[in-house]
Structure 1
C-alpha cells in the first residue's frame, strides 16, 4: 500500500464513528420505530432485543421486524449480528434501499481493519441503484472516494448531500465537520462552498421530525428521530457513551488498531470530552509509536490540543 493510500485510510477513519454517534445522540432508534403492523409495544421491563428476537421467531417473514432487530443489535454494538438481521430482511424485501445501506453501515462498523470493506461498498452501491437519494449510501460512497485519494470528489459529494440535508437535522453539524476536516487535512478551501450548499436548500428542506426530513445518516429514519427527540437527553447520551465504551474495550484487546484509536478520539470530541480525547491520543501513540505522525495529524484535524 502506498504512503498516500495509507494516510487517506487513516484520515477517513477519523470520520466514520462520529456520524454514527451523531445519529445516536439525536435519536435512540429502534425503541421509537413507527409501528405499521399493529403490534403491541413491549411489556414494561422487557428487554426490547429479546422481544424482537421472539417476534422474528414467531414470524420470520416479516422484513420490518428483521430491520428493527438489525437496528437493535447495531445499537448494542453487535454489528455482525446486525448485518445478519439486515440480510434476512433483504431476503424478504430485496428492493428496499434503506436495508442495503443499513447492511453496508453494519459491515463497516464490524470491520476490524478495513475502514470500508468490499462487501460494504457493494451494499452501498446497490442501495443507490435502488434509490439514488439514499443519504447513508451517498455518505459512505463519498468516503470511498476519499479512501481512494479523490478528496475533492469526496468533498463535492458530501456538499451535494449537505444541500439535500434537512435544515437543523441532528446529523447536519457532523456532516459539516466531516467536510471541514477532510478539507483541512488536504488543504482544500471549503468554507464558502459549505455556506453555498446550506443557502441553496429550499424552504421545504427543514427538519421538523415530519415528512420533509429524509432518512438519517447513517442509522435511524426521520420518524425514529422525531419520536426519540423527546427522550431524556441523559438517556440518549448514555447510549452514545455505551458505544464508545465498547470501542474502548475492543482497543484494549487490539491496541494495534490505529483506525480504531482515531475513531475513539473522534468520538470523545463528539461527546465534548477533549481531555479523554487527549488521553486516547497518548494511549494510541504509546501502543503504536510507528503511527505517531498519523495519529497526531488526525488529532490536529479534530481540534485536539
Structure 2
C-alpha cells in the first residue's frame, strides 16, 4: 500500500508543477514578452557599440535601430495587453492543467497495470537465492525431460545412403553383443548423434563412461552432458548438471562444460553466476569457438540482470601464432619444436573429440599425425572420421586424400 501512496504523490506533484506553469503563462518571474523586451533593448545598445567601433556604417545602424525599435514597440504592446499571465486564456489553461494531471496520474497507473506487476512482492536477495535453490531441487530427471517431448522419430539426414544405415544397424547389434567394446561404443555415440538420435547417443555415452570408470575424462563427461542437453532440447536435467560438475572437477577449464553450466545457472535463475561463468569463458576463447556467438548475444542483458555494468569487447581476429611465438620456435632445438608441434596437435585432437569440427580440420589432424610419424593415431582418426562423415561423400573425399597423404589409406 505504501508503494501506491508514494507513486500517486509523485505523479500528482509532477502534474501540479506542469499545471502551475501552464496557469501562470510563464516559466520565470516575468511574462515571456518582458524577456523579449529586454533582449531588444540589449540589441539597440549593441548597434550603438558597433557603430562606435566602426563595424557598421551610419546608414546600416539607422536601419537596424528602426527594425529593433519596431520589435520593442510590439513587445511592449504585448506585455501591456497580456499582463502578468502573458495573456494566457484562463479557462483553456485550467482545462489543460487538469488534463495534464489526469494523464500523468491516470496514464501512469494504466501503463503500470499493463507492463508492471501489481501486487508482486519484493524479492530480496535471500528470497531469490532460496527460490533458485528450490528450482535446483525440482529439476527434472533426464528421462522425464526427454519423455515430456513425446516419442522422437529417427531423423535421417538428407542424402544418407542405405549402406550407411545398414552399417549403423550392424554397429548397434555388435555393441549389443559386445557391451564392453569401448571403441564400438565410441563409434555408436557419434553415429547416433549424427542421425539425430540424441537419447540413444547419450545412453551409449553413459555406457561408455561406466566401462571406463575412474579413467573417464573431463571430455567424456562434457560430451555426456552435451548429449543429454540436446536430447532434452536445451533443458539441463539433474543428471546433466552432475555430468557438468564432474567434467569441471576433472578439468576446471573444460569449455563446453563451462558453457552449459552457464546455461544451467540461467535456468535456475542465477544470472550472477551465469554471467561470471560466461564472461570468463568468452575472455579465454577464440572468436571462432562455437559458444562465442550465443554468449555474445546474451551477455550484456545477463550482466544487467546480475546488476553488473558491462560492455562487450570488440570481436577480435582469430588467434594464431604471434611473431614472438615464431621467434621462440625459430630459436628452439629440433626436439623443442617437435614438442611444441605435438602440443598443438594434441589441442586440435582434444577439440575435435569434444566439440567436433569440419572435415578440413579432421583432415588436418590426420596429416599432422602423418608428419609426426604417428601412424597408429592417424589411422584411428581416419577410422573415426569415416563414421562421423559417412553421410557426406564430398567430405569423405577430403579425408581420404589426407589419409593417402599420410600413407594410411586402404
Higher helix share: 2
Larger Rg: 2
1 or 2 for the larger relative contact order (CA 8 Å, sep ≥6)?
1
Q: TM-score, normalised by structure 1?
A: 0.48
Q: TM-score, normalised by structure 2?
A: 0.37
